[in-house]
Amino acid sequence: MATVATRTLTYAEAVNEAIRISMRQDPNVILLGEDIAGGADVDHLVDDEAWGGALGVTKGLVQEFGRGRVLDTPITESAFIGAAVGAAATGLRPIAELMFVDFFGVCMDQIFDQGAKLRYMFGGKARCPLVIRTTIGAGLNAAAHHSGCHYSVFTHMPGIKCVAPSTPADAKGLLLAAIRDDDLVLFFEHKLLYGLSGEVPEGDESIPLGTADVKRVGNDVTIVAISRMVHQALEAAEQLAAEGIEAEVVDPRSLSPLDSDSILASVAKTHRLVIVDEDNPLCSVAHTIAAIVADEGFDSLDAPIRCVTAPHTPVPFSPPLEQAYIPSPEQIAAAVRAIL
Amino acid sequence: MVVTERRAVELTGETLLGMYERMVLIRVFEETTMRQFADGQIPGFVHLYAGEEAVAVGVCTHLADSDFITSTHRGHGHCIAKGVDIAGMAAELMGRRTGICKGKGGSMHVADVEKGMLGANGIVGGGFPLACGAALTAKVHGTDAVTICFFGDGASNQGTFHESINLAAIWKLPVVFVCENNGYAEATTFAYHCSVADVATRAAGYGIPGVIVDGLDPLAMFSAAGDAIARARRGDGPTLIEAKTYRFYGHEEGDAATYRTAEEVEAHRRRDPLITFGAHLTGTGIATEADLDGMRARAQTTVDAAYAAGAAAPWPDPAETLDDVYVSYRGR
């Protein structure tokens, strides 16, 4: 296998690069969202002064592709998310940005009743090749309307694929695959990871949806962790290594489809499982993974499965409360020790 | 706001006859569907379009397959006006494998994307954003395709109505919003549920033309839709058309429509668009009574054959439940 050249990019830059590559390849790829270009109709903006999204992730794209393909929308999520569904069903391959996942409440019909169901309702005679990029995660003291994860809301829904990358390389590779995918994909970007740097392959190197990745090899316990929790789990694994416990950290990367085979294979090796999820626990991805392993991997287990999740509360504002909300490396390490 | 009079429109006899034929096909399909439903041949719910034929046909006579429409619960008439296959529709309503959506959608989700029909819709107000999206595709691709968003008076109170008309207006999307105001949102009167006397007046809030049309008159509908569609194709943006129309039956089959008086129904029945338009065609010498009767008989033959084929068609295999959720899906 040929070695792919890499260089260091941030997670945000990796997302931007995947979009840029896709827009160069396919004129049907368009970008729409609130301030996605920034400053539409403001004549004095030149070069890269325009926002490029509320968090700057799409900065520079309007300069290359123009305002005909990078569309600032009003604050009107039902209309523009639904328009993206309608555009996808009629020949475009849109990428819509839902600024924060918490805003799904104002556009859910268009995602859930229209985008996710139209192919099925139409007997397979329609497609919805749409990517909805959105941001997730606590840690910026942004309180309960700008800090949730909520991907479990969408994994519950047939017709939607859900992807939650934890590294810059995964963000680029999975987004390339998501944009090329002919189904509706929700792409969950963790706000606290945007500044994370890592080696990212050059060029058009996509990663298939539905493939997990082992981020750390170990024999004593499997820790399945999602999105930013991968990094919390890796930190816990270092603490445990000092005690002679070798944890294997598995990142599903894609939550629907879910690569349960890789999770079951790891548990078959380690015989113990801890799942770490920043989302709320009830009907969560964490509990689904626990159910799958209990159902299909019960004979592999030497101990009860433990889930380390956010509590069943909205995300609080005050820094000590928010820190208590987010699963910590210490909590993860404690959960591991409890089942060894 | 402009209120249209019935304008003289220059239409060939062939076009006029084609419009009548399409209207009578809708009427016959709906009345046959009513009987099939009563006979237990159609599962679920059906919402009949009878009485509103002039709206769908007046508008869709302007359209090609490359143009798009979005629709409502009451979507059979839109489908037929847009050229969706009758046999495929009948089998779909019956839940058969040969249905146009393979029995996955039924009456409230009949669709044919190849024909530009983006689906009847079970969500009131669900079609507005989708229509903007189809219009956006035309704008990005640089074609002259237009999208028609049919909706009911009840949907004019949904947030998507406001959001989508604003978006279409600021982006000058090639879309025409056509309100079928039949006076009732389910069992609730328009006078109760709407803050203004005419939905069309809401156009002023978005800086676009609002037009009130007699929705029982196919020529008035054709005229108003022609202006709006031309404006959309020119790149001048959307129009809001309000068609004052009436449904001859209940909200859905099984609804006795006790919220309407017999006198009110009878008054509208006297203005049945098939009667008035038929009289126009015979009065101007474009058709004879025998011509019109022949068209109705042919429509009945077509619809009967469609339902007979549907009744003879197989049910879907239960294994097909799992098909068509995704184009591709790895694993769980």
Nearest CA to A150 out of A130, A164, A171 is that of: A164
Strands (E) in chain A, as ranges, are 6-10, 29-33, 70-72, 93-98, 131-136, 160-163, 184-190, 197-201, 213-216, 221-225, 247-251, 254-256, 273-277, 306-309
Distance, in Å, from the CA atom of B222 to the CA atom of B63, rounded to the nearest integer, reads 11
Chain A nearest C-alpha distance from B194 (Å): 21
CA angle B131, A77, A96 (to 5 degrees): 80
Burial-class residue A66 by CB neighbours within 10 Å (0-12, 13-18, 19+).
exposed
Q: Is residue A218 part of a domain?
A: yes
Predicted pLDDT at A181:
98
Predicted pLDDT at A48:
72
Put simply, the answer to whether A79 touches B163 (Cβ < 8 Å) is yes
Predicted pLDDT at A43:
80
Predicted pLDDT at A123:
97
Nearest CA to A79 out of B165, B118, B123, B155 is that of: B165
Predicted pLDDT at A222:
98
CA angle A236, A241, A245 (to 5 degrees): 100
Chain B positions in Cβ-Cβ contact with residue A256 (cut-off 8 Å): 332
Which of B89, B96, B170, B326 to probe by mutation at the A interface, max A CB count within 10 Å?
Answer: B326
Same structural domain, A190 and A273 = no
> From the candidates A146, A150, A190, A231, which is the catalytic residue?
A146
Q: Is residue A44 flagged as an active site residue?
A: no
Predicted pLDDT at A12:
98
Give the residue ranges of DSSP H helices in chain B. 13-38, 53-60, 76-81, 86-93, 127-141, 159-170, 190-193, 218-234, 262-270, 273-283, 289-312
Under a CB-based contact definition with an 8 Å cutoff, are residues B240 and B179 in contact? Answer: yes
Put simply, the answer to whether B129 touches A113 (Cβ < 8 Å) is no
Predicted pLDDT at B330:
73
Burial-class residue B110 by CB neighbours within 10 Å (0-12, 13-18, 19+).
buried
Instruction: Give the mean pLDDT of chain A.
Output: 96
Q: Which residues pair with residue A70 across a beta bridge? A: A31
pTM (two decimals) = 0.96
Residue A267 reports pLDDT greater than 80:
yes
User: What 3-state class would DSSP assign to B274?
Assistant: helix
Q: Which amino acid is at B197?
A: A
Same structural domain, A191 and A333 = no
Looking at the 3D structure of chain A, how many domains does it have?
A: 2
Chain B positions in Cβ-Cβ contact with residue A85 (cut-off 8 Å): 129-130, 133
Put simply, the answer to whether A257 touches B331 (Cβ < 8 Å) is yes
Dihedral sign (CA B177, B212, B64, B301)? positive
> Domain boundary at A153, A177, A201, which?
A201
Chain B nearest C-alpha distance from A141 (Å): 30
Predicted pLDDT at B291:
97
Q: What is the mean pLDDT of residues A310-338?
A: 98
Whether A66 has its CB under 8 Å from any CB of chain B: the answer is: no
The helix-helix angle for B218-234 and B13-38 (nearest 10°) equals 110
Under a CB-based contact definition with an 8 Å cutoff, are residues B133 and B81 in contact? Answer: no
Minimum CA–CA partner of A72 in chain B: B171
Q: Are strands A70-72 and A93-98 parallel, antiparallel or unpaired?
A: unpaired
- pLDDT digits 0-9 by tens, B100-141: 999 999 999 999 999 999 999 999 999 999 999 999 999 999
**Which parts of chain B sit beneath pLDDT 70?**
1-8, 331-332
Distance, in Å, from the CA atom of B113 to the CA atom of A53, rounded to the nearest integer, reads 33
Same structural domain, A99 and A245 = no
A301: domain CATH number is: 3.40.50.920
Predicted pLDDT at B159:
97
B74-103 residues touching A, CB cutoff 8 A = 99-103
Predicted pLDDT at B2:
52
Same structural domain, A177 and A63 = yes
Q: Which residues pair with residue B147 across a beta bridge? A: B68, B175
Nearest CA to B166 out of B175, B153, B154, B179 is that of: B175
Put simply, the answer to whether A161 touches B137 (Cβ < 8 Å) is no
Q: What is the mean pLDDT of residues A269-274?
A: 98
Residue A159: domain span: 6-201
Predicted pLDDT at B332:
67
Confidence of residue A3 (pLDDT cuts 50, 70, 90): confident
Q: What is the mean pLDDT of residues A229-240?
A: 98
Same structural domain, A181 and A67 = yes
Put simply, the answer to whether A85 touches B129 (Cβ < 8 Å) is yes
Predicted pLDDT at B109:
97
User: What 3-state class would DSSP assign to B81?
Assistant: helix
Put simply, the answer to whether A181 touches B112 (Cβ < 8 Å) is no
Q: What is the DSSP letter of B252?
A: S
Chain A nearest C-alpha distance from B240 (Å): 17
Chain B positions in Cβ-Cβ contact with residue A71 (cut-off 8 Å): 171
Whether B172 has its CB under 8 Å from any CB of chain A: the answer is: no
Q: Is residue A253 part of a domain?
A: yes
Confidence of residue A44 (pLDDT cuts 50, 70, 90): confident
Chain B positions in Cβ-Cβ contact with residue A69 (cut-off 8 Å): 140
Q: Is residue A207 part of a domain?
A: no
- Tokens representing residue B273 in the block: 């668009």
Same structural domain, A155 and A233 = no
Minimum CA–CA partner of A161 in chain B: B329
Q: Which amino acid is at B102?
A: K
Residues of chain A with pLDDT > 70: what percent?
99
Same structural domain, A164 and A231 = no
Dihedral sign (CA B269, B270, B271, B274)? positive
Predicted pLDDT at B311:
98
A193: domain CATH number is: 3.40.50.970
Q: Are strands B175-181 and B184-185 parallel, antiparallel or unpaired?
A: unpaired
Same structural domain, A240 and A126 = no
Predicted pLDDT at A40:
83
Whether B208 has its CB under 8 Å from any CB of chain A: the answer is: no
> Domain boundary at A201, A227, A257, which?
A201
Distance, in Å, from the CA atom of A28 to the CA atom of A88, rounded to the nearest integer, reads 9
ipTM of the complex in this document? 0.95
Higher pLDDT, A1 or B224: B224
Same structural domain, A129 and A170 = yes
> Domain boundary at A201, A236, A260, which?
A201
Q: Is residue A114 part of a domain?
A: yes
Residue A47 reports pLDDT greater than 70:
no
Residue A203 reports pLDDT greater than 90:
yes
Put simply, the answer to whether A122 touches B119 (Cβ < 8 Å) is yes
- pLDDT digits 0-9 by tens, B16-68: 999 999 999 999 999 999 999 999 999 999 999 999 999 999 999 999 999 99
Q: Is residue A188 part of a domain?
A: yes
Whether B209 has its CB under 8 Å from any CB of chain A: the answer is: no
Q: Is residue A290 part of a domain?
A: yes
Put simply, the answer to whether A260 touches B331 (Cβ < 8 Å) is yes
Q: Is residue A246 part of a domain?
A: yes
Q: What is the DSSP letter of B83?
A: T
Inter-residue long-range contacts of A48-53, CB under 8 Å, 24+ positions, other chains counted:
A53/A97, A53/A99
Same structural domain, A21 and A163 = yes
Predicted pLDDT at B5:
54
A216-255 residues touching B, CB cutoff 8 A = none
B242-281 residues touching A, CB cutoff 8 A = none
Strand (E) or helix (H) holding A127: none
Residues with Cβ < 8 Å from A239, sequence gap 6 or more?
A329, A330, A333
Residue-wise DSSP of B207-247: TS-EEEEETT-HHHHHHHHHHHHHHHHHT---EEEEEE---
Which of A81, A121, A182, A296 to probe by mutation at the B interface, max B CB count within 10 Å?
Answer: A121
Q: Is residue A102 part of a domain?
A: yes
Predicted pLDDT at A208:
97
Chain A nearest C-alpha distance from B331 (Å): 6
Q: What is the mean pLDDT of residues A116-130?
A: 97
Same structural domain, A168 and A256 = no
The helix-helix angle for B159-170 and A77-89 (nearest 10°) equals 70
- pLDDT digits 0-9 by tens, A163-199: 999 999 999 999 999 999 999 999 999 999 999 999 9
Same structural domain, A241 and A335 = yes
